[in-house]
A and B are shown apart, each in its own frame.
Chain A
Amino acid sequence: GAVVSQHPSWVICKSGTSVKIECRSLDFQATTMFWYRQFPKQSLMLMATSNEGSKATYEQGVEKDKFLINHASLTLSTLTVTSAHPEDSSFYICSAREDPRTGGTDTQYFGPGTRLTVL
């Protein structure tokens, strides 16, 4: 089946630093990728939707300048948390939608998540 990977799986950083998280679709093309955030014991909240080659669409309340999203290719999207602070500590999960134009199932496949801890 379709596989989505995330790197790193766990990151600890000091307050004020920037952290980049990669999301890759390993065996399919994804025109659309999604970034979610999950706080402990809470559900996934959509942060933004990114389409390959265009600017991401951010959900209300998500700061564009703080969470930079780049979807430069059909298999890679990156989320950069700029000037991270302890309140940004969370579990970040990406998903990728398999492109139906290339024979895909148009289903969203989820990555394993990245645990970010900001000290």
Chain B
Amino acid sequence: KQEVTQIPAALSVPEGENLVLNCSFTDSAIYNLQWFRQDPGKGLTSLLLIQSSQREQTSGRLNASLDKSSGRSTLYIAASQPGDSATYLCAEECPYSGSARQLTFGSGTQLTVLP
């Protein structure tokens, strides 16, 4: 059974800092690794998706890396802003049964960026 772990569970930083969120996963036979943002009481917003053949993806101030050999992914947020405050979830998509695939989510990192 796949397990996804995120560290730290919560993080508070002053505005303007660069920060790194960590995600580790147990199943190396992944299709992709995804990072999501979730605001309180809301659904998920997809941030970045890294295919298993890729090493990183970038979108604006966000950069996500993938290292399958070590079972790790990081989400780098540059020049953090108060609007970045949210819970960040990583999820690995793996084979399930037959041709099916499923996402397994980490428990999330709750980020607070202080103005």
Which of A's residues lie within 8 Å of B, judged by CB?
Answer: 6, 32, 34, 42-46, 49, 57, 91, 93, 95, 107-113, 115
> Does any Cβ of A come within 8 Å of B41's Cβ?
yes
Closest Cβ–Cβ distance, residue A108 to chain B (whole Å): 6
B67-110 residues at the A interface, CB under 8 angstroms = 89, 91, 93, 96, 100, 102-108
In this complex, what residue of A is CB-closest to B107? A43
A-B contact list, 9 entries, CB within 8 Å: A32-B100, A45-B105, A49-B100, A49-B102, A93-B43, A95-B103, A110-B43, A112-B43, A113-B42
As a 0/1 sequence over residues 27 to 43 of chain B, the CB contacts with chain A under 8 angstroms (1 = contact) are: 00000000010000111
Select one of B41, B100, B108 contacting A43, CB under 8 A.
Answer: B108
Q: Is B50's CB within 8 Å of the partner chain A? A: no
From A107, A110, A115, B44 is in contact (CB under 8 Å) with A110
Q: How many chain B residues have a CB neighbour from A under 8 Å?
A: 19
Q: Which of A43, A107, A111 has the most CB of B within 10 A?
A: A43
Q: In the complex, are the beta carbons of B43 and A44 less than 8 A apart?
A: no
Contacts of B89 in A (CB 8 A): 43-44
Interface of A is mostly: strand
**How distant is B75 from chain A, measured CB to nearest CB, in Å?**
15
**Cross-chain contact of B49 among A42, A93, A107 (Cβ < 8 A):** A107
Contact B46 A110 (CB under 8 A): yes
Q: Which residue of chain A lies nearest to B97 when distances are taken between CB atoms in the complex?
A: A57
Q: Is the CB of B43 within 8 A of A113?
A: yes
Contact B100 A42 (CB under 8 A): no
- Shortest distance in angstroms between A27's beta carbon and chain B's nearest beta carbon? 16
Q: Are B103 and A111 in contact (CB under 8 A)?
A: no
- Report Cα–Cα, A110/B45, bound state, in Å: 8
Known: A43-B89, A43-B108. A108 touches B103 (CB 8 A): yes
Contact between A46 and B102 (Cβ–Cβ < 8 Å)? yes
Is the Cβ of A93 less than 8 Å from the Cβ of B106?
no
Contact B49 A111, beta carbon cutoff 8 Å: no
